[in-house]
Amino acid sequence: MLSLRGYVEMRFAVALFLVLGAAFARSQEVPEYRLPTTFKPISYRLDVTTHLENKFTFEGVVDIKITCLKATNTVVLHSNNLNIDTKGVAVSDGGGKVVPVTGVGFVTKTELMHVKCAEKFKPGNEYVLTVPFMGNITDDLVGYYRSSYVDKETNQTRWLAVTQFEPADARRAFPCFDEPALKATFKIRLGRRKHLTSVSNMRLLKSTPMPSNPDYVIDEFEESVPMSTYLVAYMVSDFAYVESKNPEEEVKFRIVARKDAIGQTELAKNAGPLVLKYYEDYFDEKFPLSKQDMVAIPDFSAGAMENWGLVTYRETALLIDPNVATIDNIHRVAEVIAHELAHQWFGNLVTMKWWTDLWLNEGFATYVAARGVDYLYPEWNSFQLENVQNFLQVLDLDSLQSSHPVSVTVGHPDEIAQIFDTISYTKGSFLLHMMNTFLGEETFKQGIRNYIDKHKFSNAEQDDLWSSLTEEAHKEGSLDPNITVKEIMDTWTLQTGYPVLKVVRDYAAGSVTLKQERFLTIQPNSTDKKSCWWIPLTWTTSSVADFSQTKAESWLNCNTKNYTIPLEIDDEWVIFNMQIAGLYRVSYDTRNWMGIITLLNNPDEFETIPTLNRVQLIDDAFSFSQIGELDYGITFQLLKYLKHEKEYVPWLAALGGLGPINQLMKRTPNQGLFQNYMQRLLANLYKRFGNMTVELDGFEEIRFKNLVIAQACRHKIKDCTEQALALFKQWMKTNDPDTNNILPRELKTIIYCQAIKAGGAEEWDFLWERYQRSNVGSEKAKLLSSLGCSSETWLLNRYLNWTIGENAIIRKQDAITVFYSIASSDIGYYVAKDFLYRKIADISEYFQPRGDRVGRYVKVIGSQMKTKEELEELNTFISKSSAYLKGADLTINQTIETVKINTGWTSKFYHKIINHMV
């Protein structure tokens, strides 16, 4: 972590230049859960034999070649939940001489293994550590775990074993130096039953019979490039594969899946090689492996994992059935493929030194993935949409006091899992977009290329990135030679939150004075004078109305408290942040707002303000009203212009801004008034999109219709509900409803939910049967979510009970989806809350060792609370359940703050806001 005005660096205080030219930045006092800087791994030889049939165990031995960096008599490495044959642990020097082992010990709390020897190791010398091990193939979705599916032909359950090591679970599969900076090569051999197959990071070299067991085969793979342990991957299964057939491809590309789903691989088979080639050109760096497998796993905790050469996915994130897929399904698969393949450079080739800079992996992969999807589908305009969605999402979450910096100090493995969140992914991505805008595309791209070339097969931290970008920017003259990227970007990555630009106009003098402060949804007792950002300034006025200049004209920086610019005296309005190129809100006075609103409410001139700036104006108005800095009357005056707004993203922002108000009106006496307001607001749009059976073309048009229909049915526009129920009843009467799903494919989720909400056990059982029979992951996900829409409490309770415990029917990966869908409805909220309160111990046990998952349950319930009594109730529950919420601290703190925000809003605005909706 890098310093910013006294921000104490906790992880990498001193750079230790180590033997053989390898440098590892580590603190002087190594925390107990970190490895000492006494050894560096060079290579692993890893042998693992997998037993799946009813046994679910694995056994193996690892030989780790290590270099001694400091004199010591003890090797310390990681091991967690493994059975180690301590008598078989051995150490030898480079010449094969045995170094006697005097003791092997384990520290469960820190997941460390100590191998103590009779002699001291000599700095600069190489040794080989040999450790035999055994373990259970669990259903925890981490480490080396098991997954299953039912073979459609035989109706038998098939088992597979697959790895998931990020962030710190390789140590659950084999003893290792399980930190990202400790890269090494891996030579992997996998023992498996003859009728199964195995895959790993590298190409298969050969398969030979296992001498000790004629029913088993040993698969030997090429030695890997240097990589971190969290990227090691292997799988044993009976899966099939399809291969890309383009003879010009230098990289062998395969899509691997259960054989019943192999027909759903066409999109991935075509998109994968195209995106990989696009990245090779963009980064000017060849993909360093000879093959790339992408595997669809039936049970998978995350969306996907970027293991080098063997990327693993949820089925919904890789497979597409063209007969049922929606455009959102296609976009999702393309986006995840592009994200994981971007990691092959950002994360795999160049890896962060420690999890503090996780955003270098995830922010970059998110940003570059948007470019990758744009390359695959240029007609979608998805890159702009991605940036809009990122902008809105970050401004919401990052306005909490309990948010965290992009580059965040983390230590214990429990903390690491919690930062795989919106800040690391989405804020990281938008900040890269902002940098690209103020540096320029060519400078930004070349700076990235230089960074990759300099640090490939090694590790880096964000200062290394700043250095490469600064050097290129100064070379090309795209940044003032007196300014560095570090000076600018440290203010965005090392502190929490983002700024609001305060625009103070002197109309008589014709000037604007600019100030900044941190935007917080809960207003602090005193102004936050410590936070300060380098804000790229762009603006235009009513007399010029030129929104095309998105590159910073000047900066409001940390050395300037007030910044004044001249304006024409008769200018009606000024607008800052052209095309939302910067991550900040803008606060105007009432006169300026009214000038903007007058223009927007003119149907012939409102498009003078371009789409993206209309998005920011809508979102800013809602946010300033929420904290009491802008009268809600002004915000609702602005919303009146929507009657002639025809673009998708401004409506997305408007309905997103009304969403929290809807949430706070739910289950209150004024819910009906808000519902009536929404029906009037949507009336014209519903006329445009209301016919459910009319199919549209175009990515944004389809999404626009989906948004409108979803809102119309949610707010009980009568025709919407009637259409949905009629179509569903018609479908129920068809012969073979699984093959003949007559519902409009883009609207199926909405129709399912409406029918289940209005229906009873007959409709529920019908849809449940469709879920059980479906062979398509994305379709099963829609059905699973929709079944939570029921208004029957007994059905909801039964459904929730199917999600946890030894006899769970729902896959573990989908349990939170079911809970979320139930908790989101008016009736389901109470059922889900009661389930959480009664079953917290069971939920916690079921999801071990990942406590962060339990936090999601609390967040879903807490985000809907809005009274002091509910806040007290939640605090009591959290206090009583603290033992079950370990590893979820960040989410719990954010949830409590959200309830406080909701409570404050309800007491201030609940009664006042109704006047603006009548």
Query: Residues at the annotated binding site?
Result: 339, 343, 362
Closest-CA residue to 111 (of 76, 163, 136, 141): 76
For the chain, the 3-state helix, strand and coil shares in percent, each to the nearest 5, are 45, 20, 35
Which run of H or E residues covers position 422? Answer: helix 422-422
Question: Which residue ranges are tagged as binding site for Zn(2+)?
Answer: 339, 343, 362
d(CA 791, CA 8): 52
d(CA 357, CA 367): 16
d(CA 730, CA 288): 54
Burial profile 612-640: b = 16 or more Cβ within 10 angstroms, e = fewer: bbbbbbbbbbbbbbbbeebebebbbbbbe
C-alpha torsion sign, points 290, 296, 300, 302: positive
Closest-CA residue to 148 (of 157, 140, 139, 135): 157
Q: What is each CA distance from 206 to 49, 190, 200, in whole angstroms?
A: 16, 11, 13
69, 123 Cβ separation under 8 angstroms? yes
d(CA 60, CA 131): 9
CB burial class (10 A; 0-12, 13-18, 19+) of residue 739? exposed
d(CA 560, CA 635): 31
**Active-site residue flag, 568:** no
Which run of H or E residues covers position 185? Answer: strand 185-193
Query: How many C-beta neighbours within 10 Å does residue 118 have?
Result: 11
306, 315, 335, 340: the active-site residue: 340
Q: Indicate the DSSP class of residue 667.
A: T
366, 429 Cβ separation under 8 angstroms? yes
Q: Indicate the DSSP class of residue 677.
A: H
What interhelical angle do 428-439 and 358-376 show, nearest 10?
A: 70
At 257 the three-state DSSP class reads strand
Residue type, 78: H
Burial profile 366-393: b = 16 or more Cβ within 10 angstroms, e = fewer: bbbbbbbbbbbbeebebbbbbbbbbbbb
CB burial class (10 A; 0-12, 13-18, 19+) of residue 317? buried
d(CA 161, CA 153): 21
Task: Count how many residues are written for the chain.
Answer: 918
11, 356 Cβ separation under 8 angstroms? yes
Q: What is each CA distance from 265 to 253, 255, 776, in whole angstroms?
A: 12, 7, 11
Q: DSSP letters of 555-576?
A: EE-TT-S-EEEE--TT---EEE
Closest-CA residue to 341 (of 274, 395, 402): 274
254, 243 Cβ separation under 8 angstroms? yes
**Catalytic residue numbers, as ranges:** 340
